[in-house]
Structure 1
Amino acid sequence: MLINPLKDKLQTLKLTGFLEALAEQEPTPALWVDLSFEDRLGLLVDREMAVQENRRTKRRLMAAKLRQNATPEDLDFRSSRNLPKPLLQTLLSGQWIVNHQNVLITGPTGVGKSYVAEALGHKACRLGYNVLLVRFPRLFQSLEIARSTGKLLTLLKMLARQDVLILEDFALTAITSEHRQDLFEILEDRHNIHSTIITSQIPRPDWHERIGDPTLADAILDRLVHGAYTLDLKGESMRKTRVQSTSQVDS
């Protein structure tokens, strides 16, 4: 087969990785002469698989709605953050997702809770998992709108099927009785099936009181806390530190 018609067919099939690898091999045939047909074909197929996986990862990252460009490589392990490197390395392996465990991240405002959560979400996307991030206030707004428009079940199903659901700012605002029930339904649907990451400024011992109703609080926390990994971050606000650094540079 002539090379140009072959390239046209690869383009039509959208096998761009295969096409790119073939174009790289084409000018230097002597480099590949010792390879068998199967080995050379394998190199082309491997490139196509890598390109397709990269494309899928980009789609997962877009769908996740991560708000920061937080990656595992940029995590700050300075001692002042109380960010245990061995634990983070364990979490970055993704085994907690396989085991359907949760991650609970607490600490003062600006200390990097969201950054850590989103770095874990970023890694999960790379590992092939579907991820969604939503702040609790926005979650409850969406649930209220869905309820009023008859789409509550659709929204609950969408939340239930996420491999990793990142819920930020837990218990930052008052939780109504309706919100408590909604939260229970979400966590019940996900319990022992998928993983959830929670971030909160509120210390974990105070969560029960902030949720309100003792019976529902017990049920919610049982599904959240049992078997979960916990990170309690400390230190100065990273936002405050950045502002101070900028002021020093400007002066």
Structure 2
Amino acid sequence: MLTHPTFDQLNAMGLYGMAKAFHDMAANPDADSLGHAEWLAMLLDRELALRHDRRLSARLRYAKLRHQAAPEDIDYRAERGLDRRQINELLTGKWIDNFENLILEGPTGVGKSWLACALGHKACRDNRSVLYVRAPKLFDELALAHGDGSFARRLKSLGAVELLILDDWGLEPLDAQARHDLLEILEDRYGRRSTLVTSQLPVAEWHNLISHATYADAILDRLVHNAHRIDIKGDSMRRIKTTKPT
């Protein structure tokens, strides 16, 4: 079968979804019964679907989410204190549009990081920029960035992303440099972007963790006062999966 000139023109214009759809429909005898408007609608649908898939793939690559978590897979059956209505409201992303924060706290293994990644995945689907970082690794990287002169560039990238997921916050006290860096990040994002924090420590203990009254007040003011909070309870999901009979 000779290649139709329209197929080549669509590819030349970068309309690869439409080109693939045109090729498939041209080889399908049933397509002859479609009108011009129906043909065009199907071509546009395929193009939009391809662009959405590519955009989502790019968002997810940049986000570097720790878990391949999807919102459809959130488990409400385990006794963790998750409120389905609250989670569904968060999944709409309105809190991100309003530049609000979210704090997920609870003991190790209850699924804080997984839930954070599910919310991040949904934000990527909604074409929002997301970045996942573990707090200990981030502070180590920023310490190196001070030395090689890349700190300003890294700070700018952290400030620009629409949803920053700061996982495993509070595993160890902050030193002077980490305190300063965290305040710079939050100051740059305050009222402009949203930050999601997961922590094993309750918020009431964060002031002592920061271990500097002035910095603690400034950091918590920018992070906590406009934050949604979810206290996840229950036994470790890892332990439950390990002991579950087969």
Q: TM-score range by the shorter chain?
A: over 0.9
Q: Quick one: which amino acid aligns to residue 136 of structure 2?
A: P
TM-superposed deviation, 1:209: 1.1
How many pairs does the alignment contain?
243
Aligned to 2:221: 222
TM-superposed deviation, 1:11: 2.6
1:22-37 equivalent positions in 2, closer than 5 A = 22-26=22-26, 27=28, 28-32=30-34, 35=35, 37=36
Aligned residue for 1:193, secondary structure, equals coil
Aligned to 2:96: 97
Cα distance per residue 1:28-80 (max 9 Å; x no partner): 23330xx3x34532331232122111101011001100111101000011251
- Kept after mapping to 1: 8 A contact 2:168/2:198: yes
Aligned to 1:122: 121
TM-superposed deviation, 1:113: 0.2
TM-superposed deviation, 1:3: 5.4
Task: Determine whether 1:243 maps to 2:242.
Answer: yes
Task: Determine whether 1:69 maps to 2:68.
Answer: yes
1:136-147 equivalent positions in 2, closer than 5 A = 136-147=135-146
Aligned residue for 1:121, secondary structure, equals helix
TM-superposed deviation, 1:204: 1.1
* TM-score using structure 2 length: 0.94
* TM-score using structure 1 length: 0.92
Q: Quick one: which amino acid aligns to residue 75 of structure 2?
A: D
In structure 2, how many angstroms separate the alpha carbons of the residues matched to 1:67 and 1:178? 26
CA RMSD of aligned residues (A): 1.5
Q: Quick one: which amino acid aligns to residue 230 of structure 1?
A: R
- Kept after mapping to 1: 8 A contact 2:143/2:177: no
TM-superposed deviation, 1:190: 0.3
Q: For structure 1, list consecutive stretches of 5 or more residues without a partner in the other structure.
A: none
Aligned to 2:197: 198
Cα distance per residue 1:129-152 (max 9 Å; x no partner): 110000011000110110000111
In structure 2, how many angstroms separate the alpha carbons of the residues matched to 1:4 and 1:22? 9
Aligned residue for 2:192, secondary structure, equals coil
Aligned to 1:20: 20
Aligned residue for 1:229, secondary structure, equals strand
Q: Quick one: which amino acid aligns to residue 190 of structure 2?
A: H
Aligned to 2:48: 49
Aligned residue for 2:153, secondary structure, equals helix
Aligned to 2:11: 11
In structure 2, how many angstroms separate the alpha carbons of the residues matched to 1:30 and 1:49? 23
- Kept after mapping to 1: 8 A contact 2:71/2:119: yes
TM-superposed deviation, 1:23: 2.8
In structure 2, how many angstroms separate the alpha carbons of the residues matched to 1:40 and 1:4? 15
- Kept after mapping to 1: 8 A contact 2:135/2:169: yes
Aligned to 1:58: 57
TM-superposed deviation, 1:6: 1.9
Q: For structure 2, list consecutive stretches of 5 or more residues without a partner in the other structure.
A: none
Q: Percent identity?
A: 44
TM-superposed deviation, 1:93: 0.5
- Kept after mapping to 1: 8 A contact 2:100/2:228: yes
